[in-house]
Structure 1
Amino acid sequence: MTTHNAAGQLASYRKTIDNLDAALLHILAERFRCTEQIGRLKAEQAMPATDSEREQRQMDRLRTVADELGLSQHFVENLMTLIVTTVVERHKEIARRG
């Protein structure tokens, strides 16, 4: 492969990555819209912001999905911990605001 061909292939890969990154952000935005509704419901019903049993079931399920996809369980755990922590903080904020 010549340098010119390699540069073109690299640009193509990077374009794909850019598109996938945008898609990930759209998916996360939709996920957060859904969890926002959950936060409101929990606040209205005076339910706790966290559900440790649900979180553990989800993490177990996602570890299995990670394995099936050939992804690092460590990576998936870190990613989901960040997402869940963000959601729980938002749920607490919603509850404080009433």
Structure 2
Amino acid sequence: MTADHAGETGQNPDADYDPHASSLQGTADPEVLEELYAIRGSIDNFDATLVYLLAERFKCTQRVGRLKAGHNLPPSDPGREAAQIQRLRRLAEDADLDPAFAEKFLNFIVSEVIQHHRAIVADRG
């Protein structure tokens, strides 16, 4: 569900979420906690964006999986995966993000995609 779709249906995926949930209340200066909550609010926004971006990415990879299955192509494409890892490592370096982390993250996503592609093939079989 996209953010726009959530608004259209009246559903709020954060309805039960408490942005001030913390085990630090009563242990720190209230001004420090307010600053912490403000920073965490930004982090929460990034997390939500990542979830929606991943959802859109997986919609595309599902299309790839159906296309591959329909043309008897293998679920995995090692050449593509290697090129993507190199690309993401360079992007991570440019963004001051640990390239090893970026590679681990991409490997996790790619392994999920391959599982989805295999499932598509099995469903057609």
Q: Which TM class, normalised by the smaller chain length?
A: over 0.9
Q: Which position in structure 2 is the counterpart of 1:55?
A: 81
Instruction: State the Cα RMSD in Å.
Output: 1.1
The residue identity in structure 2 corresponding to 1:12 is: A
Where 1:12 maps in the other structure, the secondary structure is helix
* Aligned match of 1:28: 54
Which residue in 1 is equivalent to 2:11? none
Unaligned ranges ≥5, structure 1: none
**Deviation, structure 1 residue 7:** 1.3
Cα deviation, residue 4, structure 1: 2.6
1:80 equivalent to 2:106? Answer yes
Match of 1:42 in 2: 68
Mapped to 1, the partners of 2:42 and 2:88 lie a distance apart of 25
Pick the structure with greater CA Rg.
Answer: 2
The higher-RCO structure (CA 8 Å, 6+ apart) is 1
AA aligned to 1:29 is: A
How far has the Cα of 1:42 moved from its partner? 0.3
Identity %: 38
Normalised to the residue count of structure 1, the TM-score between the two structures is 0.95
Q: Does 1:6 align with 2:32?
A: yes
Number of residue pairs the alignment of both structures matches: 97
Unpaired segments ≥5 residues, structure 2 = 1-27
Q: For residues 40 and 91 of structure 1, what CA distance do their matches in structure 2 show?
A: 7
Per the alignment, residue 121 of structure 2 pairs with: 95
Question: Which one has a larger percent helix, Structure 1 or Structure 2?
Answer: 1
Partner AA of 1:15 in structure 2 = G
